[in-house]
């Protein structure tokens, strides 16, 4: 039986009411180096998914975010673990986006979402994001 890893991801948009682009990062490490994903990370004991997301984004991108609605919870089996990923809309509340872990980042319009190579679990979300943009 695969170990389950619970994570959160922020689909940071340019505004909750007028989503014209979303922020994506390219992994700078690990076996999926160079693949694109939505920023986020693991939920620590005692944290709500929203608290985990705010902390992770502060650590990875040095900004404070407002967490919006849950878009979808993705369940995905990678070869060595099962990923359970809560994906939330988010917008930058304060600060400037600064990459601490990723090797690159882009703001992508609805039309550009298919231009990058997404991690398999993140790929599942793309059609749902397009539908809400």
In a domain, 129, yes or no: no
User: Is residue 93, in this structure, part of any structural domain at all?
Assistant: yes
**Structurally, how many domains does the chain consist of?**
1
Residue 92 lies in a domain: yes
Q: Model-level pTM?
A: 0.95
Contacts of 113 (CB under 8 A, 6+ apart): 22, 126, 129, 130
- Residue 128 within any structural domain of the chain: no
Domain with residue 114: its CATH number is 3.90.79.10
Inside any domain, residue 51:
yes
pLDDT tens per residue across span 13-62: 999 999 999 999 999 988 899 999 999 999 999 999 999 999 999 999 99
The domain of 85 spans 3-123
pLDDT at residue 76 in the model: 97
- Any domain includes 133: no
Asked whether residue 108 is assigned to any structural domain, the reply reads yes
Write down the residue that tokens 């994903």 correspond to: 37
Dump pLDDT digits (tens) for 75-104.
Answer: 999 999 999 999 999 999 999 999 999 999
Q: How far apart are the first and last CA of the chain?
A: 37
User: What is the phi/psi pair of residue 3, to 5°?
Assistant: -70, 140
User: Does 63 map to a domain?
Assistant: yes
């Amino acid at each position: 039986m695969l170990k389950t890893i619970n994570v959160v991801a922020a689909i940071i948009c340019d505004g909750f009411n007028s989503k014209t682009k979303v922020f994506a990062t390219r992994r700078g490490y690990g076996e999926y180096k160079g693949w694109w994903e939505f920023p986020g990370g693991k939920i620590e004991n005692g944290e709500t998914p929203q608290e985990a997301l705010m902390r992770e984004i502060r650590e990875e991108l040095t900004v404070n975010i407002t967490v919006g609605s849950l878009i979808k919870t993705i369940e995905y089996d990678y070869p060595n673990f099962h990923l359970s990923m809560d994906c939330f809309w988010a917008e930058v509340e304060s600060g400037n986006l600064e990459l601490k872990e990723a090797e690159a980042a882009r703001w992508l319009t609805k039309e550009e979402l298919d231009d990058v190579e997404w991690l398999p679990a993140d790929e599942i979300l793309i059609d749902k994001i397009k539908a809400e943009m």
